Amino acid sequence: MAGSKKPRLVGFNHVALEVGDIEKALAFWGRLFEFELRGRSKTMAFIDLGDQFIALQKGRKQTLDDGRHFGLVVDDKEAARAALKAAGVKTLPGPFLDFRDPWGNRVEIVGYDNIQFTKAPNVLRGMGLGRLEKNANARKELAAKGMAIK
């Protein structure tokens, strides 16, 4: 199509994870993180992330994820590390804080302060988080893109 404009990618609405059992998945995630459910049914549950969500869907059939993963942003990476340890969840070897859920989904824990991803102040406020800070490197990366935090 001559002259047609392609849409611009602007973010993620949700990530869907296949799990073997919704109740067991919610119990697992509840041992690790504080969260609220956005909704649920017999075969799905939705963990609220403010303006985004994780969809847990019953029906995992594939083998363990190796390289395929998603980065889950938390307000306190060290608290996440401690929660994983307290729950007996083994972290994967390597430089990142990665783990697998009981169904083999690989998750990387990423600290909000260390990345470009930024929640709008109204979303943070609605999540009861107030203002979360960025470290110098994240601020520099954002500034280089014209996205400096004021």
Element (H, E) at 37: strand 37-40
Tell me: pLDDT of 128 over 60.
yes
Which pLDDT belongs to residue 41?
95
- Which amino acid makes up residue 21? D
Q: Which residues contact 90 (CB under 8 A, 6 or more apart)?
A: 99
Domains, the chain, ordered by start = 14-144 (3.10.180.10)
Which pLDDT belongs to residue 8?
87
Q: Where are the alpha helices (DSSP H) in the chain?
A: 22-32, 77-86, 121-126, 136-144
For the chain, what percent of residues have pLDDT higher than 70?
97
What digits encode the pLDDT tens for the residues 43-99?
A: 999 999 999 999 999 998 888 888 899 999 999 999 999 999 999 999 999 999 999
Which pLDDT belongs to residue 2?
65
Q: Is the dihedral of CA 75, 141, 148, 15 positive or negative?
A: negative
Rounded to two decimals, what is the model's pTM?
A: 0.89
Tokens of 42: 């017999």
Angle between helices 22-32 and 77-86 (to 10 degrees): 120
Which pLDDT belongs to residue 53?
96
Average pLDDT, the chain: 93
